[in-house]
Structure 1
């Protein structure tokens, strides 16, 4: 290409881009927002904000997937119309809705997906703009997490085997075990896949726990506290707690607990064991006096 034509071509391209941008400013959407995540049965607002730059608006429409469910036509009376959608995913509160701001209620799992707002100008331009936003819908558990598998009593150093389940939700809850208010060692956890209900599609989350009943865990009234928490996104949190009692003599549990504490402070294991033996040996003499 001849170099003397390059500046003219560049200026022409700039002018073309300027015309395109000026046209785009005639009508454009500035915001599309949906409540997310939202729980089944809850309400919320859909928001579609736009700038018309002097163009008359013919209609604003809301779609869920390919299905139109709301239309605002300012030149008609009444201006707001609603349309049924397959699966009845939501209900529109027409009295509260206006322009692009739509109040939805009675949300179901079928409302999860892509929402699209479309705004069209009047003739002669018929300029149309659209934008989308995605909604996540959560079906929360109907009850607190359940800890199962516990026995009435355990012997020292015996393995405690438990399960925690959070029934019927979508998505399945995230489960976490705590022992004496400290998060359980990951090596003690037994992961299981969620159990799906074939009729409802809801899932039950399950997590297993297996840990040895060591003396150092018995500092709280001769029992271990086990707690399980269940959470889903930022919408749900609940917990359950049980006590695991140890069937050990009172004095023996104290001596073993002190030996474990001494070992934890850095004393050699042989020294802490010797201290335990001496203490237990002196116990009958002290009782005689």
Structure 2
């Protein structure tokens, strides 16, 4: 048989198979709620086109475990199935076809959800698609800053830690100095610590920097730590690091290195003090 003829025949055969699939049953979209906080829920949505094929069943799986089945020819058409650990509940009163309402998610509900749609006999043509849910257990409190002393001398090393307690996944921590991102070279990265009973993790980030005069704002430095987890959690804690320096020395060093704005604030303080002295002398 001619090679060109054979190639053309195979191409037409493949095109016919592809057209049959496109014209038949196929899934158009699968969406799930993610990320989602522990205890909350959302919708699993599996949209499909049947193109004249009768649907035998639509099933939702979490991993390998079937959690929901819609079989239009049966009565009742909706069935749910228990999963070890009860990672979620299905609200059958709101669910219909491929749209499923899930509630009370636990960390065990994190994973791959698969929608599978099957046509009736004789071919039982089946299509499937997947989406992933991330369940988040948020910290119970704001980030903690520890290690700061009551005061420092100029050029001392400031060493503090920030921790975000017990979450899953661990929080992402960021330090700000005077409202600006801390120099990456000043950061100390620690491994997260996992609670063996709950699996929740505590994240810790360290900060070490020399207390230079240019950092002072009216005798102190603002340190802020921010903890974030996806778009569900954003909390900050701020402390002031105080510099124990002579007043005149702080003015001179501040003028030399504090940057825009600082001399103006010092001048304002001196003006108020001078005005007070003159007022007392006039009396």
TM range (shorter): 0.7 to 0.9
Structure 2 partner of 1:52: 50
Distance in 1, matches of 2:16 and 2:196, equals 57
Structure 2 partner of 1:167: 165
**Does 245-254 or 67-76 show the bigger shift?**
245-254
**Mind listing any 5+ residue stretches in structure 2 that lack a counterpart?**
261-283
Task: Give how far 1:244 is off.
Answer: 1.1
TM-score by length of 2: 0.87
**Does 102-111 or 12-21 show the bigger shift?**
12-21
CA RMSD, Structure 1 to Structure 2 (Å): 2.0
Matched residue count? 262
Task: Give how far 1:202 is off.
Answer: 0.6
Distance in 1, matches of 2:165 and 2:150, equals 24
Distance in 1, matches of 2:12 and 2:207, equals 69
Distance in 2, matches of 1:118 and 1:186, equals 47
5 Å-filtered alignment, 1:216-235, equals 216-219=214-217, 221-235=218-232
Distance in 1, matches of 2:88 and 2:20, equals 36
5 Å-filtered alignment, 1:153-232, equals 153-219=151-217, 221-232=218-229
Distance in 1, matches of 2:4 and 2:192, equals 65
Distance in 1, matches of 2:142 and 2:135, equals 20
5 Å-filtered alignment, 1:232-271, equals 232-261=229-258
TM-score by length of 1: 0.86
What do the CA deviations read for 1:203-245 (whole angstroms, capped 9, x no partner)? 10001111111111112x3111100001112222111001111
Consecutive aligned runs of 4 or more in structure 1 exceeding 3 Å deviation: none
Structure 1 partner of 2:143: 145
Structure 1 partner of 2:275: none
**Mind listing any 5+ residue stretches in structure 1 that lack a counterpart?**
266-289
